[in-house]
Amino acid sequence: METTASDQIYDYLERIGNLVRMGERRVDSVKGLQPVQLEALHYLSSCNRYSNTPLAVADYLGLTKGTVSQTLSVLEGYGLIEKIPDVSDKRVVRLVLTPRGQQVADEAIPPQLLKLAVDTLSEPSRGEIVAGLRTLLQAMQRANQLKSFGLCKTCRHHRQEPDGNRWCGLTREALLPVDAEKICREHSIADIVSAELDEAV
């Protein structure tokens, strides 16, 4: 049977994914954590204040609420995250990394193995790989109508005034520069991919 592009892409992604997870497990502070627990920790270290709920974690990881609930309980038990009631709606739980959780996420992701490999690539090769992976991710998200979970500054709702002030066109709330670098469950891909998107990765 002929090898298709999907076969090849799958084989590369699977092998790379295995190596990335192997690299993560080499970090002492991560030992004892399952890959899904580390993925949830990484998500919570990268997401903005609209996206740090158990439901958003489930959406991002493509898991059921029950599985995510167990994952979050383990992270909480290890003292890596805290569950805090939302200030305006007590029914909503916000998930916040503890200093220890942030330290574990910073140490493990991206793994040293990946950083060393990327350092050996030329600048054009890195750009091509990032652009190719981004295109594939967006195609899969579009095909499945999944949330994009992109960087805030690449969202079509992201607004920046000439004086540098930023705000969200969806929530109408002010955004800090640090917010622009976070991922968001309400992110919506801009119709025209701007140069900012290239700069974002």
The residue from 157, 189, 196, 197 that contacts ligand SF4 (CB under 6 A) is 157
Stretch that binds ligand SF4, among 61-69, 107-115, 140-148, 151-159 (CB under 6 A): 151-159
Q: Does 170 bind ligand SF4 (CB under 6 A)?
A: yes
**Least distance in Å: CB of 47 to ligand SF4?**
10
User: Which parts of 26-121 fold into alpha helices (H)?
Assistant: 35-46, 54-61, 65-77, 99-108, 112-119
Amino acid at 15: R
**DSSP assignments along 76-100, one per residue:** HHTTSEEEEE-SS-TTSEEEEE-HH
Q: Does 158 bind ligand SF4 (CB under 6 A)?
A: yes
Report yes or no: 40 and 109 within 8 Å, Cβ to Cβ.
no
CA distance linking residue 196 with residue 66, whole number of Å: 37
DSSP 155: B
Residue with smaller CB distance to ligand SF4, 165 or 171: 171
Residue with smaller CB distance to ligand SF4, 123 or 199: 199
Residue with smaller CB distance to ligand SF4, 25 or 147: 147
Residue with smaller CB distance to ligand SF4, 42 or 158: 158
CA distances from 36 to 43, 63, 136, 155, 201 (A): 10, 10, 22, 27, 23
Site for ligand SF4 in 17-56 (CB under 6 A): 48, 50
Number of residues engaging ligand SF4 in binding (CB under 6 A): 12
| Chain residues that interact with ligand SF4, rule: CB under 6 A | 48, 50, 152, 155, 157-158, 168, 170-171, 184, 186-187
